[in-house]
Amino acid sequence: MGINNNIEKAYLLAKEQYAGFGVDTDAVVEKMNEIVISLHCWQSDDVSGFETPDAELGGGGIQVTGNYPGKPRSIEEMRADLEKVFSLLPGKQRLSLHAIYGEFGGKQVDRDEVDIEHFQGWIDWAKEQGIGLDFNATCFSHPKANDGFTLSSKNEEVRRFWINHVKACRKIAAEFGKQLGTPSVHNLWIPDGSKDYPIDRAGYRTILKKSLDEIYAEEFSKEYLKDAMECKLFGIGSEAMVVGSHEFYMGYTIQNQKLLCLDNGHFHPTEQVGDKISSVLQFLDEILLHVTRGVRWDSDHIVTLNDEIMLIAQEIIRNNYLDRVNIGLDFFDGSVNRVGAYLVGTRATQQAFMQALLEPTEMLLSYEENSRNFERLALMETMKTRLFGAVWDYYCLVNKVPVGGDFIKEVVDYEKEILKKRR
């Protein structure tokens, strides 16, 4: 009880401090309920899925390193891990599934044959958890993706296979939205690209556009389904050219009013996704974010509270874009406790949004409009040292989840009691 009193006392001090800048911390704590983050299922098991017992990540320029003990061996264990994660996070989240995470009952179900029956168990589980589900076609880790091309393949049999897979996935996602009462975002990322410089870039992109036109010809109610497409600069094995580039998908989504997925690890290291948000939303109703942390060539490190994540959150909050931006995570690290990875990355993302909400935006904007740039810079720096942690701790307290670093012990105990017993 004493600890709770100290948290509340610290919060009252922070509340008074922020009020001096015209910021209502009570309103911020309430507003945080609108920050819904879609956790990515593939962090739980290193993007292995449950198609086959010995499934491994392959192709597509993506790679998971590490073999930390405790990886879930079944969907039941995976759900238990996710439930543990949800229990330690403030607010309400969603879950994003890849198509390889269906319940296939030990049967060999190829990608073009996936159906809602393989995911009904996930829907029932999501209802119990009170969360929404998002979905992703899985266009990698498959023999028909080994040559580096799927929807842009010049092999018509291969191209047709992947078209049918994505069509099936959109139907599944729409059923998620229908049964759960919240639209499901179906995100499409393909690994297609070339290791060395190709001659026929235009040919591959023409084929991809043709495939997409056929896939999206079937329309679903936006009440159930939102379609997104994700670009990438390069991958391992596709260093010279990625077919689905930023320019390609930006053009396609604007022309067809789909969601552009911006992954902040998929651009040049000096490019900032935060700077792109207000540009693309001039032309699109909504976008999807994949929040991650790029380190050199790797785009998928665990999210930390860094300047890049802060700018993304600030741009969304400053411009009242919350209802136009779908926030998802995308990182995978098999070298650390996977449950802990979820908590660090999700909490960092939530903290970025809370700090953005605690910003005295009107005051800063007034300085900017009046060319008082010194005052603007000085105030932005001043806000970095305010009592943000006290507001965050209070938010966790009212949500009845561990405060500060207390979640670390919870993860360590879960590892001792559950994860280390898995072999």
Residues with catalytic roles:
189, 230, 232, 263, 266, 290, 298, 300, 330
Contacts of 258 (CB under 8 A, 6+ apart): 216, 227, 228, 229, 252, 284
Which residue(s) pair with 76 in the sheet? none
CA torsion 420-41-315-307 (nearest 10°) is 30
The CA distance from 395 to 319, in Å, is 23
Which residue(s) pair with 176 in the sheet? none
Report CA Rg, the chain.
22
Record the tokens describing residue 6, joined without a space: 């100290």
Q: Is 350 exposed, middle or buried (0-12, 13-18, 19+ CB in 10 A)?
A: buried
Q: Where are the beta strands (DSSP E) in 218-291?
A: 225-230, 241-242, 259-263, 287-291
Contact 314, 272 (CB under 8 A): no
Q: Is 210 exposed, middle or buried (0-12, 13-18, 19+ CB in 10 A)?
A: middle
What is residue 182's DSSP assignment? S
Coil, helix or strand for 222? coil
CA angle 356, 358, 360 (to 5 degrees): 95
